[in-house]
Amino acid sequence: MDNNKLEKYLNYAQDPDLATFDELEAINSHMESLDSALGGVDTGKLEYLKGDKGDKGDKGDPGQDGQNGRDGVNGLDGKDGVNGVDGKDGKDGVDGKDGKDGQDGKSVDPKEVDKKIEEIRGMVVANAMPVTTSFYNGLRAKNLNIIGATASQSGDTVNLTITGSGTGTVTSVASADGSVTVTNGTTTPDLAVVKAPKLSTARTIAGVSFDGTGNITIASTDLSDTSSITLNASTQTLTNKRVTQRVLALSANSATPAINTDSYDVVHITSQTAAITSFTTNLTGTPVDGDKLRISVTGTGAVGLTFGTSFEAGAVALPTTTVSTTRLDMMFFWNTETSKWRCMSYG
């Protein structure tokens, strides 16, 4: 420190009112530095200059309201955001491990296959089911059902489970409900004999007990609605019933046509070229009083007619020929007195 400054500091020390507290602190600090420079000579400190801390001053009067501030300047537009960084490519997946090699297939001896088929044949025959080529083709199916046995397939093996016991050929099959179903995939075999089961509780049919083991006979008089049936052994009156005539058509061009009056009421002979030499020769039947017989003949031309001993003239004489190709119709009644067919008309 130069002398001028030192002098100034000393003046401050003599008259503290001439210096501020901070300035007096600076003087003390300078005195300590000067002591050190002078080789330890004590220049003295101004500790006495520090007075007690004064009381806190009264709060000043509020200042005047400041002027309104000017409108702020509009802010600058913000800069565009920076583009995001592209994401990194994903890593390639790890290749899967190679699968294990499959096992070698088993070889099948054709002789062993034939042997197994023969064994199945024996089992099927023992259960009354015929075996055909299509049946063996059906063995490709997963399941095989056989009468008296069940079969299941596992891989190359077909297992048969036979129920019951005994040997021989089955000639009849009985079941609880009277029905038997056989399924083998491709064929449905027929059973030669199926025995009807006996009913656990017999049933009554038209007053007759029936248990299913045998036939029963039912009289018509036992039926509940006898008024609606026609009885052969009773006298009944048919009302509004039409009786359909039994018709025989002949085109054999026979000289002695075969006619059974028990089976036919009307006979039509067509395409006749040969003359009819006798209606009696092949005439059969046992007519009764009231029976009627109508015969028509159509020829390819005029055909001669001979009736024989079973026919007779009646209201008209027996015709002897047809006319050209025109059909000739003749009506006969059975005459019980002469046992002949009487000609009543023709045309």
- Region 222-244: what's the mean pLDDT? 80
List the one residue out of 304, 307, 315 whose CA is nearest residue 343: 315
Q: How far is the C-alpha of 255 from the C-alpha of 330, rounded, in Å?
A: 18
Instruction: Out of 170, 197, 224, pick the residue that ends a domain.
Output: 197
DSSP state of 138: G
- Same domain, residue pair 176 and 264: no
- Give the range of the structural domain holding residue 187, as residue numbers without chain letter: 127-197
Is residue 112 situated within a structural domain? no
Among 39-43, 110-114, 157-161, name the one with the lowest average pLDDT: 39-43
- Same domain, residue pair 193 and 269: no
| Burial state string for 123-157 with b = 16 or more CB within 10 A and e = fewer than 16 | bbebbbbebeeebeeebeeeebebbbbebeeeeee
Is residue 277 situated within a structural domain? yes
List the one residue out of 162, 175, 178 whose CA is nearest residue 125: 162
- Region 55-82: what's the mean pLDDT? 69
DSSP state of 304: B
Q: How far is the C-alpha of 59 from the C-alpha of 55, rounded, in Å?
A: 12
- Same domain, residue pair 341 and 252: yes
Is residue 224 situated within a structural domain? no
Band (pLDDT 50/70/90 cuts) for residue 98 is confident
pLDDT above 80 for 42: no
Burial of residue 47 (number of CB atoms within 10 Å: 0-12, 13-18, 19+): exposed
pLDDT of 161: 66
Arithmetic mean of pLDDT over the chain: 74
Q: Residues 196, 172: contact at Cβ < 8 Å? A: no
Is residue 122 situated within a structural domain? no
Task: Name the residue with higher pLDDT: 242 or 181.
Answer: 242
Is residue 109 situated within a structural domain? no
Is residue 186 situated within a structural domain? yes
Is residue 204 situated within a structural domain? no
- Same domain, residue pair 261 and 320: yes
Stated pTM of the model: 0.39
- Same domain, residue pair 258 and 321: yes
Is residue 234 situated within a structural domain? no
- Same domain, residue pair 336 and 252: yes
- Same domain, residue pair 189 and 259: no
pLDDT above 60 for 181: no
Number of structural domains in the chain: 3
